[in-house]
Amino acid sequence: MSDFPLPILFIMAVFFTMWLVLRKYHKLEQRKRDLPDLNAFLYANKLTEPRCTACNAVDLKDEGLTHGKDERRIVSCAQCNTLLYRITPPAPEA
Ligand SMILES: [Zn+2]
């Protein structure tokens, strides 16, 4: 048996797992921020009303970008979870 201390191996495994999770989370966030807005989405897909580009469903759901009450909404398909477009609220008039 090697005398490599087991607790250190365990801590390294925990950190590696956390790094993997964070990296995956960050990639998903980046994909959400890169989504087109509604007009660009409709234009790019030659649609007159928003619908899923993957499965054609009109049943969509939206969620906040960073939290539930975030005014920047991310719209995805309620059927297959494909990310579709984002809704950015107009800048508040000062
Ligand atoms: Zn779909």
According to the model, what pLDDT value does residue 35 have? 94
Q: How far is ligand 1, taken at its centre, from the CA of residue 69, in Å?
A: 24
- The DSSP code for 63 is E
What are the residues whose beta carbons fall under 8 Å from the beta carbon of 41, sequence distance 6 or more? Answer: 35, 47, 50, 84, 85
Residues with CB under 5 A from ligand 1 (ion): 52, 54-55, 57, 77, 79-80, 82
pTM, 2 dp: 0.72
Residues 10 and 42 in one domain: no
Write the CA distances from 42 to 50, 64, 74, 80, 91, integer angstroms: 7, 21, 15, 19, 22
Residues 52 and 14 in one domain: no
Residues 47 and 25 in one domain: no
Q: How far is ligand 1, taken at its centre, from the CA of residue 67, in Å?
A: 23
Residues 27 and 39 in one domain: no
Residues 70 and 39 in one domain: yes
Q: Based on the structure, what is the number of domains in the chain?
A: 2
Residues 58 and 73 in one domain: yes
According to the model, what pLDDT value does residue 65 have? 86
Domain containing 1 equals 1-34
Q: How far is ligand 1, taken at its centre, from the CA of residue 77, in Å?
A: 5
Q: How confident is the model at residue 1 (pLDDT cuts 50, 70, 90)?
A: low
Cα of 19 vs its chain's centroid, Å: 18
Per-residue pLDDT tens digits for 9-48: 999 999 999 999 999 999 998 999 899 999 999 999 999 9
